[in-house]
Structure 1
């Protein structure tokens, strides 16, 4: 059975890698071949198709829309072939699962729950790293990433929603009483979420009376300062949940949904990697409690 519309199959791997990296040099490094070998295969593919697949500049290599469409199809086909190969051979993806997570969520929520993950999935070894923004799965050797959806999901990346973001001012319980009485307090800000207070004021119409401000470089530092009684920080419910349960923090105005959320990102759908599928099942169970109860949604703490 002939397939006259198929391009030369040996050109597809170098082509897909070149589109993904937007670089023949990095594609060659990934495939352990020379730059010239990748260049020749890409030229052979362009000749077979009769179209240019890249806009070549002096310092840039930009895939055309047609190239991105074809590369996505090649990537999907490779995923299907890889999955079928595992089924036929009986092999499962092995080795540790490399998971990247936003730093504050990693430290304040995920790490304290790792013992439960180990108990439920002893066969799963997870290597954690802190990171934010769009994950570069092809470059950073990461299998999955937990990210806040404050950026467009990269092309070809799977995203499964986990939980919504609810935010509100948090502080020590004794400071919460002063805040509700209108006493002046110190407002805590962070460089990584500089608009947190303005966003919360816009969503709720509240304006706490702050006589001073203190700024921190990282979000988790501002939240830790709130736990220490330094002042009042705007904290997402997910990141202060444990402190609320322990009574170390109070939420005098409750929490409000800010329209964002967190999701699990992976280079292919989770069901195609049993390790990612197991992690997703566990995350879904754990994050079910990250919707604030009713007493925290009406401004009553």
Structure 2
């Protein structure tokens, strides 16, 4: 394909503006050119095409039928060019979206679902950051964050409820068959984590019967205690969100089910002015809804909550 028959682009731009404004003066003002410069561009276009494009009478310029048809085509072409240039410019300055997520939730819930995100939004460039606690949106360039509501929500941040935190003892299916009541936990090793040191006590406080101390082992992070439980080293307190997939596949079991601990996970954003954020928020809501449907709780117990609600 060659473009040797095309007139110079500058002449077409001046011509289109003149037809649209029905005169040279307004066209010149729009293009930030002098009246004479626009007139010369039109004259050059007429010489290139070998025809007169305007009827000139008493300083009035009336486009010929051929000029009107050409102007419509030029308008369409310039609109396409402008849109293409805008997309290229936007893509050139566009950086990946940054989503910050608590490490264990990122590892065990979000990352396994990213292939579905790639299919739902193939052009979305997402950078993941593992972190917990307050979100430094400005300092770290974070666009969105998934957090448990265990800190004060800063002003100007929107919190969208995803799911409640449900916790309970988890272990291998083989070990679960030996545990039929809380007192049986005295016969197995209890796995703790330094990041949630009160997890066992919090769960035990919701039981109607006390159970005696058992042998214990402490891990640095939540995900390490869950991995230890999957390896058969004992029983850990797990979040339903963290182990939902393993419960489905049978890799882990929850002998006493799960109970809410009073907290919840939220998606935190500033005012979304990026269509990519809108796309990602919608997808995350769908994934959270799927998790909520897996929870063995009546729908009335899964109502969305506000950040400060306990």
With the shorter chain as reference, the TM-score category is 0.5 to 0.7
- Separation in 1 of the partners of 2:239 and 2:298? 12
Alignment equivalent of 2:271, drawn from 269, 272, 284:
269
* 3-state SS of paired residue (1:160): strand
- Separation in 2 of the partners of 1:247 and 1:193? 25
What pairs with 1:101-180 in structure 2 (closer than 5 Å)? 101-180=101-180
- Separation in 2 of the partners of 1:136 and 1:206? 43
Per the alignment, residue 287 of structure 1 pairs with 288
- Separation in 1 of the partners of 2:117 and 2:139? 27
- Separation in 2 of the partners of 1:295 and 1:133? 28
Structure 2 residue 253 is matched with structure 1 residue 216: no
Give the direction of change, closer, same or farther, for the CA distance of 1:273–1:205 in structure 2 (3 Å limit). farther
Shift of 1:163: 0.8
Shift of 1:143: 0.9
- Separation in 1 of the partners of 2:198 and 2:230? 21
* 3-state SS of paired residue (2:245): helix
CA-to-aligned-CA distance 1:211-241 (integer Å, 9 cap, x gap): 3000000000001111111110110100000
Instruction: Check conservation: 1:100, 1:130, Cα contact below 8 A.
Output: yes
The TM-score normalised by the length of structure 2 is: 0.63
The TM-score normalised by the length of structure 1 is: 0.64
Give the direction of change, closer, same or farther, for the CA distance of 1:128–1:293 in structure 2 (3 Å limit). closer
- Separation in 2 of the partners of 1:224 and 1:133? 23
Instruction: Check conservation: 1:189, 1:222, Cα contact below 8 A.
Output: yes
* 3-state SS of paired residue (1:203): coil
- Separation in 1 of the partners of 2:248 and 2:208? 27
In structure 2, stretches of 5+ residues that fail to align are 1-85, 300-310
Per the alignment, residue 231 of structure 2 pairs with 228
- Separation in 1 of the partners of 2:194 and 2:205? 19
Give the direction of change, closer, same or farther, for the CA distance of 1:99–1:227 in structure 2 (3 Å limit). same
CA-to-aligned-CA distance 1:47-86 (integer Å, 9 cap, x gap): xxxxxxxxxxxxxxxxxxxxxxxxxxxxxxxxxxxxxxxx
* 3-state SS of paired residue (1:178): coil
Shift of 1:177: 1.6
- Separation in 2 of the partners of 1:294 and 1:157? 31
* 3-state SS of paired residue (2:291): coil
Per the alignment, residue 205 of structure 1 pairs with 208
- Separation in 2 of the partners of 1:279 and 1:128? 13
* 3-state SS of paired residue (2:205): helix
Alignment equivalent of 2:248, drawn from 245, 248, 257:
245
Give the direction of change, closer, same or farther, for the CA distance of 1:188–1:207 in structure 2 (3 Å limit). farther
Give the direction of change, closer, same or farther, for the CA distance of 1:157–1:98 in structure 2 (3 Å limit). same
* 3-state SS of paired residue (2:135): coil
CA RMSD of aligned residues (A): 2.2
What pairs with 1:49-88 in structure 2 (closer than 5 Å)? none
Shift of 1:288: 1.2
- Separation in 2 of the partners of 1:248 and 1:103? 21
Counting matched residue pairs gives 207
- Separation in 2 of the partners of 1:206 and 1:199? 14
- Separation in 2 of the partners of 1:242 and 1:227? 13
CA-to-aligned-CA distance 1:224-283 (integer Å, 9 cap, x gap): 1111111101101000001101101111101111111111112x233x221221111111
